Structure 1
Amino acid sequence: MILLNLFWSFFKIGFLAFGGGYGALSLIQDQIVNVNKWIGIEEFLTLISISQMTPGPIAINSATFIGYRIAGVQGSILATIGVVLPSVFWIFLILKILKILSKWIDTAEVFNALRLGIIALILSATLRIGIESINSVFTIVTAVSAFYILYKFKLSVIWIVFGTGILGVFWSFFLPL
């Protein structure tokens, strides 16, 4: 039963996760933390950090990790298939619809409108995870500094992840709370 639940939960995430991994974060959090209670919010935040540092999409990395944690290799495989399978469906459906609609409308305008919904999903995930992650003055300063550096200097995200990780190790080792 747990294997079916893993597959179904990640299938729903994959089916509704428009906007890529960042758009899926709210859905992933809802399914694995709130609905199924497979992990707590702290472990979820760790999962997001790990998913960011490993190659591949966030949703797939999350599905693989949670599936493995809950039901071993079988769970990992079924959760990953569950999150990927809807994408195949959506791609074929959208291509069919666009082929039909392109005769009557400017499909570029459709994508422009879709971007607004995707931006809303990404902002929602950012706010939910940001609120859960900010628990001290150190985390506020680190988050604002990282954002400023990314925005002002267009530094690679890799350097931000590496730098904030080193800063976190330094802070916890030398200045424990």
Structure 2
Amino acid sequence: MSHLVWTADLNTGIAEIDRQHQRIVEYINALYDQKDNPDRSVLAAIIHNVVDYTESHFAFEEALLEQSGYEFLDLHKKVHALFIRRVSLIKGRFDGGEDVAGELHDILSRWLFSHIRAEDHNYKERVKGYLAGRGADAAAAQTKAQALQASDYERLLPELNQRMQKKGWLARLFSR
């Protein structure tokens, strides 16, 4: 076991995805920090946090891939589901009293960097293109919005509210 070090080749060029990946690395390194003087309550919190955060990251990533029209989304989701199942089994063993910190650290360490370099790098150009298009759409919308009069806003507000109610929180986040 050793500390993971984030290197430039792990960057996808998608700021939020890279930030989330780096946060997962911090959790993995926190597991490593417990190897010499393990505190079961600290380990429980770290394991809970890494599993919870990883599941949230996967949901975010999958929603982004869906929005971008990534053609291998179903396969990507299956890889995520298998990994979560494996980590959940280890967490269950920990909850049953086993010492799994080293095993979990090793699995997370190997899997994360391998997954980023392979699967995640496969989608990065598609997603970056999608986000760039949304940025261009946003810039065009801003120019158009500046030209609108106050009365136009009042006319458009009900339609906008209706659209926002139809979308989930993640879609609203990306529609800003």
Task: Please give the TM-score of this superposition, normalised by the length of structure 2.
Answer: 0.28
Task: Please give the TM-score of this superposition, normalised by the length of structure 1.
Answer: 0.28
Structure (1 or 2) with the larger CA radius of gyration: 2
